Chain A
Amino acid sequence: MTNMIIALVLGVFFGFALNKAGLTKYNKIVNVFRFTDMAVLQFMMTALVVSMSGLYILRALNLVTFPNVPGTYIVGNIVGGLIFGVGMALSGYCPGTCAAGAGEGKMDYIVPGLLGFLTGAVIYGLTYDQVFPAISAIANYGNIVIPDAWNVDPFLFITLFTLISFLLFYLIDRAGWQRKAQ
């Protein structure tokens, strides 16, 4: 029960962040793929830098244990990502931004959006046996994390990831890597 309330509260902050980042708009999502507005990338990489540093520091201090790590099965992760990008560019949604956009009162998020996700969920659930076991069996490495798989110190990896992110942010904000929209 407590967990359910925590989930609800976290969801509100999550949806609030998506709204303020502008990700509940079609143009923000699709324009990252046109390199005319990189907010999606800046938002995601900032979230990753903050959360990965925080979590690995908290774990080093024995203040948290990690939940189940999402599994790595190379072909399925990439193919899933490839199909996902098509859906994003077509609709301007992610599952999360669609729920937040629905809360803003946008009918195109409430009706075709939420119904589309439910329909997709039904289709996936009914074809799961034919698709998922086969594709997830290819190059399946289980629930690994990069520090263990590559035998690198997690903080070295996180430092590198942070530096790469800051370099990208610099290139986007200061060096004109963001194209002008036509």
Chain B
Amino acid sequence: MKFILNYIRKETWSPYVAGTLLGLVGIAAVWASNSLLGASGAFENIAGLIGKALAPALFDNMYFNFIMPPGITYGVMLVVGLFFGGLVGAASSGTLKWGKKDSANSDEQWKRIFGPQTWKRWLVAFVGAIVLEYAAGIAGGCTSGLAISGGMLLAPSAFLFIMGMFASGIVTALIIYRERY
């Protein structure tokens, strides 16, 4: 019992233990609600919600009316859960960043490569996030909605997506890190 509690308090688990937990969550989603995990779709639902409130004419299109109708969907609830899951996880190891000085630019390795300026981190992260969401739309899902959820059902799309993601991730890292790769 003590061993389990101490393990839960650790900041980083073995990827095999954490991966087993994610696998069980993936099974539970199908078993309990006949649904798949996913995160990128939730941002579409919320974007539609905000867009329809602010600029109803612009967002009155095929996509926001029929493909990804706005609303508080299953996916949105998952993402809300993700938020609290991250919070509980960090709280259990005493690594919460709320109100901490380094929370605006949270990674040491990033600062070594790109420099300590917060605006730089925010700019690159913002552009990166746009790229991620757009790419997930084209591919039909993100790492959770396509790679894990599709992969566990043995959909070929998941494995094509994973191959593409690793290929370009490696090339991009090579370009960014150059001699420090």
Contact = CB atoms under 8 A, between A and B. Distances in A.
A112 B19 CA distance: 27
Q: How big is chain B's contact interface, by range?
A: 35 or more
Given A42-B16, A51-B148, A121 B157 contact: no
Contact of A95 (B43, B61, B100, B154): B43
B107 A26 contact: yes
Contacts of B47: 118, 121-122, 125
Given A21-B12, A55-B30, A101-B86, A125 B77 contact: no
B34 A67 contact: yes
B89 A15 contact: yes
B167 A117 contact: no
Q: How big is chain A's contact interface, by range?
A: 35 or more
A163 interface: no
B85 A25 contact: no
Contact of B43 (A24, A40, A117): A117
A96 B129 CA distance: 11
Given A85-B164, A95-B144, A146-B156, A104 B97 contact: yes
Nearest to B29: A10
Contact of B23 (A50, A66, A88): A50
Contacts of A109: 106
A52 to B, nearest CB: 5
The B interface is mostly helix, strand or loop, or mixed, namely: helix
The A interface is mostly helix, strand or loop, or mixed, namely: helix
Given A6-B32, A125-B59, A14 B22 contact: yes
Contacts of A114: 129
Contact of B39 (A4, A51, A80, A96): A96
A15 B83 contact: yes
Interface of A: 2-22, 24-27, 30-34, 39-40, 42-52, 54-56, 58, 63-74, 76-109, 111-126, 128-129, 131-132, 135-136, 141, 143-147, 149, 154, 157-158, 169, 182
Interface of B: 10-13, 15-37, 39-40, 42-44, 46-48, 50-51, 58-59, 61-64, 67-68, 72, 74-75, 77-90, 95-100, 103-110, 118, 121-158, 160-173, 176-177, 180-181
Given A4-B77, A77-B139, 5 more contacts: A70-B157, A76-B140, A82-B168, A146-B154, A157-B154
